[in-house]
Every structure is written in structure tokens, then in C-alpha cells.
Amino acid sequence: MMTRVHLDRIASSTQNAHLDREVLLGREIICAHGYILAVRLLTDKSVYNQLEDVYGRLIPLRLGDIIAGTLGSRRALKGYAGSVPKNLQPGDEVQVLNLGGVLGQCEAIHPDLGPPFNAEVLGAILTFPPAGDRVGTPATISRNAIPQADTLESAVPIVFVAGSSMNSGKTVAATEIVRGLGRAGMRVGAVKLTGVSLRRDALSMLDAGATIGLTFNDAGVVSTNAEDALPTAYGLLNHIAKTARPDVIVAELGDGILGEYGVATLLEDQTLMAHNAALVVCTTDQVGAWGAVTLLESRFGLRPTLLSGPVTDNAVGCSYIVNNLGIPAHNARREHEQLIATIRGALDARR
């Protein structure tokens, strides 16, 4: 038996499914990453109370809103942690784990955010293929997804932007790099390769002038991990190279180097790192700078091209990095010209 509902909000994590406001729901729920549910909010919140829609807008949520979200996991140091429940049926409760509408069972909260939105499961959103299937199949973000790949076919040089943790300035740096290289006459592709579903960072790079801006969500992945990060990255980079033909790709690595979203898997892959034209590392303080440089050199054999992030907000952090680590330090908010000059120098050195 199917139920028809009107969606008040459609989360950005569902975008591959191209949902309408009016949807039909089934009672049988597949409890796996990427499947899309309709849920009704059972609580109100005064902080972390928005949802990113498929257009990238952040919209406030209220008690009673019916939203379309995507089953998935999250392992955020400065956010919620949760996973996909083993079983679900209409009437059960799940939590909204992030701004992109990832749904799951919350296992850990962050004191600054309070408890997550609690939501009643209404059912699995159904899609109806053009062939005329009247029964419908559970909607999933694997539909219309960019294929993952076992090999990297792209030869485009990559500027990687990594960080010691989330909220360390990676997106600010990546956006300024896109803007600066674009103004220098280069065609710049942009991608966020790891993290949990949210389009905000890719949209920021598009706004800065990227010719294309993708995330792992475009490859049908809700949140990356050590197993799927590499084939997802290969698939996205191949797609960008073929469709946009950029001169360079700026790739943000969401979360931290030691997080659980597969950043380390990418950094240790020799095929991927063979296209590493520059490695920008963002961190918040001197300890983070020292730790990131030490870890990258000892474990991955990589030396950052430059450091950025809040540690470079004034001369104290910059002088430590330059004098003690021997690496350039440029603040992405204040030192645009120096930042881009260093990146262009690294790109020129590969030619």
C-alpha cells in the first residue's frame, strides 16, 4: 500500500533522485546508505536548525515539517556521529545528522549543537522508472550517479586542500585558490572528495569561478570512508577531466587527515599523488601545523606546498611555520596574491 505526501523540504543529499514535492511512499524500507526516506520532525531546535536544499539554500526547519532525507552515517569531531539503523519501519524514529539531510541513529552529540532533530519515519520515497512501473522502487542517490572507477584516467594536475580537522579553513583556502587561478586565465575544476553530504563547499568554489563543482554525493555516496573514497575520487576526477577539460583541479579533502572519511586512503595512493601539483594544509594553531607536517612527511612521504587556515591569521603563527617548519604560510583571507603565486609556482614546476 502506498501513501501520498507533500514534502515541505527536500534535502540536498537527495539531489540525484530529482524528487518532486508530491511523492508516494512505500512501507518497506531498505536500511542501507543512500536510500531516501520521508520523515516528519518531532522536535524544534534553536541552533543547527537548518537544512540545505537541492539549490544550496539553508532553510530553517520547524516541528512538523516533512522532509526528504538520505540514510547514511556521520563521524564528525565537531558535530554529530551516527549510523544507519539495522531495521526501520514507518513510525520508528531517526535523527537528522547534518545540514545536508543525512538520516540515521545518532550515537554522539556535540555540546555546542544540542540534541539533533528527532523525526518520525513516514516511509520510503518511491520512484517510478519511465518504463511504466506502477509499483515503484525505493529511491536512492545511486540513481543518475557519476560512476566510480577502478583506474584514474585523468592526467589533470591537482591542487589538494587538506586540514588537521573540520572547520580548519579548507573551504576558504580552496575557494580563493579557484578564484585566483581562474583570474590568471586557467580553467579550474573543483571537487570535494571526502566528507558527509553537503553541497555548500562545492557551491562556494563554483561561485568563485570553477567551471564545474562536484562532491562525492554526485557519485552516489552519502559519506565517504576508507573503502569507497578512492574509487569515488577516481570516478569524479575522470568525469571532470572528460566533461570540463580543466587546466587544473582543486580538490578539497573534507574532515581531517586522521578522520574517518578516507582522507588517509587518498593521501597514500601513489597513483593519485602522482598528479599532486600542490598540497595546501589548513590548521588552527602551531601544534596542528607541526603535527600535520610531521604526519604527512613520516606516513605519506608528502611535504605541504604551503600552510593556511586560522594559524596564519596573524604574524605569530606565520613566523612559527616559516622559521620552524620551513614552509610558506599564507592567509587565504588576507594574502591572496602570495597564496596564488606559490600555487602557480608549484604548477609551473610540473611542466
DSSP for 300-348, written as a single string? I----SEEESGGGSSHHHHHHIIIII---B--TTT-HHHHHHHHHHHHH
**What's the alpha-carbon Rg for the chain, to the nearest Å?**
21
- Average pLDDT, stretch 14-38? 96
| Banded model confidence at residue 242, pLDDT cuts 50, 70, 90 | very high
Angle, vertex CA 173, rays to CA 169 and CA 177, nearest 5 = 170
pLDDT band for position 11 (cuts 50, 70, 90): very high
What local confidence, expressed as pLDDT, does residue 128 receive?
A: 84
Quickly count: other Cβ atoms within 10 Å of residue 47's Cβ: 8
Region at 270 (left for phi over 0; alpha for psi -120 to 50; beta for the rest): alpha
Least confident of 134-138, 302-306, 334-338: 134-138
Residue-wise pLDDT tens digits, 92-137: 999 999 999 999 999 999 999 999 999 999 999 999 876 555 678 9
Question: In sequence order, what E strands does 81-130 have?
Answer: 81-83, 93-96, 102-108, 118-127
Share of the chain above pLDDT 70, in %: 98
d(CA 181, CA 210): 9
Among residues 79, 128, 126, 127, which one has the least CA distance to residue 104? 79
Phi and psi of 325, rounded to 5°?
-110, -15
Contacts of 36 (CB under 8 A, 6+ apart): 14, 17, 19, 68, 69, 70, 71, 124, 125, 138, 139, 140, 141
The Cα 139–Cα 11 span in angstroms is: 13
According to the model, what pLDDT value does residue 77 have?
86
DSSP lists the bridge partners of residue 61 as none
Average pLDDT over residues 206-233: 97
Convert the pLDDT of each residue in 177-218 to its tens digit. Answer: 999 999 999 999 999 999 999 999 999 999 999 999 999 999
Domain ranges of the chain: 3-138, 158-350
Portion of the chain with pLDDT greater than 90, in percent? 93
Predicted model pTM? 0.95
Rounded Cα distance, 77 and 35, in Å: 25
Range with the lowest mean pLDDT among 19-33, 99-113, 131-145, 147-161? 131-145
Which class would CATH give 158-350? alpha beta
pLDDT attached to residue 127: 92
Burial call 181-211: b when 16+ CB within 10 Å, e when fewer: bbeeebbbbbbbbbbbbbbebbbbbbebbbb
Which grid coordinates belong to 141? 542517490
| Amino acid 130: pLDDT | 67
Q: Which residue has the higher pLDDT, 30 or 130?
A: 30
Is residue 1 pLDDT above 70, yes or no?
no
What gap in Å lies between CA 196 and CA 147, rounded to an integer?
Answer: 18
